[in-house]
């Protein structure tokens, strides 16, 4: 692991952390025929790519470094999206480790003609900040300020604990 200081992040931010709102993003995109199958349903892969892109922006905004997708802990599709829908992706940081970040993304589809919105997908992704040698590097801690951010942070810590326990079990059992 690199002993470098975080990418141009001021020392006081490194020590004190950064609030969730400093890195959160909302991304919108209208779905086109090339995003869908012949029936007009948007491909899950198209939505997954948009989720990964939005989460990646959050990771880089928080770390001010290159960051790579380490895992997708969970991705649930709740409803379909269709050609002509406006997809709205809200992405924010849930938790940080020393070099990693869990980012939650909520996807809604808006029917532009009626304004109706549907929650179509949710995902949790883990990113790792990397240095110029592609080695993990330290990042500032996240500061959860609101009750919602604190709840999301607690839930992210529980998911991380479960992931680590599963990895430990797999190593021990040779799976």
Percent above pLDDT 70 for the chain: 91
Measure the CA–CA gap between 144 and 155, rounded to whole angstroms.
12
Q: 67 has which bridge partners?
A: 129
pLDDT value of position 171: 83
On average, the pLDDT of the chain sits at: 91
CA distance 99 to 107: 26
The string of pLDDT tens digits covering residues 10-51 is: 544 556 899 999 999 999 999 999 999 999 999 999 999 999
Question: Would you state the pLDDT for residue 175?
Answer: 63
134-152 tens-digit pLDDT: 999 999 999 999 999 999 9
Q: What is the pLDDT at residue 3?
A: 37
Do 95 and 157 contact (CB within 8 A), yes or no? Answer: yes
Given this model, what pLDDT does residue 35 score?
98
What's the Cα-to-Cα distance from 158 to each of 11, 18, 55, 79, rounded to whole Å?
Answer: 29, 21, 20, 27
Look up residue 133 and give its two tokens.
């040698």
Q: Which pLDDT belongs to residue 21? A: 96
For residues 87 and 47, the answer to whether their CB atoms sit within 8 Å is yes
Looking at residue 37, its pLDDT comes to 96
CATH of 11-173, one of 3.30.1490.190, 3.10.129.10, 3.40.50.2020, 3.40.50.300: 3.10.129.10
- Rounded Cα distance, 122 and 80, in Å: 13
- Region 74-99: mean pLDDT is 97
Domain boundaries, the chain: 11-173
As a whole number of Å, the end-to-end CA separation of the chain is: 27
Give the model's confidence band at 84: pLDDT under 50 very low, under 70 low, under 90 confident, else very high: very high
Give pLDDT, residue 1.
34
Q: What is the pLDDT of residue 6?
A: 42
Predicted pLDDT at 125: 97
Q: What is the average per-residue pLDDT within 142-170? A: 92
Q: Which tokens belong to 174?
A: 């040779």
Q: Given this model, what pLDDT does residue 15 score?
A: 64
Q: What is the pLDDT of residue 14?
A: 52
């Amino acid at each position: 692991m690199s002993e470098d200081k975080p990418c141009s992040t001021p020392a006081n931010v490194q020590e004190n952390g950064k609030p969730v709102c400093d890195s959160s993003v909302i991304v919108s995109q209208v779905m086109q025929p090339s995003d869908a199958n012949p029936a007009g349903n948007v491909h899950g892969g198209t939505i997954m790519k948009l989720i990964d892109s939005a989460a990646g922006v959050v990771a880089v905004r928080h770390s001010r470094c290159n960051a790579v997708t380490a895992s997708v802990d969970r991705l649930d599709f709740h409803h379909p999206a269709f050609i002509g829908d406006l997809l709205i992706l809200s992405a924010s940081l849930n938790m940080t480790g020393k070099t990693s970040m869990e980012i939650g993304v909520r996807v809604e589809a808006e029917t532009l003609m009626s304004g109706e919105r549907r929650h179509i997908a949710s995902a949790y992704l883990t990113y790792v900040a990397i240095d110029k040698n592609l080695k993990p590097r330290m990042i500032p801690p996240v500061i959860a300020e609101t009750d919602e951010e604190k709840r999301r942070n607690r839930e992210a810590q529980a998911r991380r604990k479960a992931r680590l326990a599963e990895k430990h079990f797999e190593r021990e059992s040779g799976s």
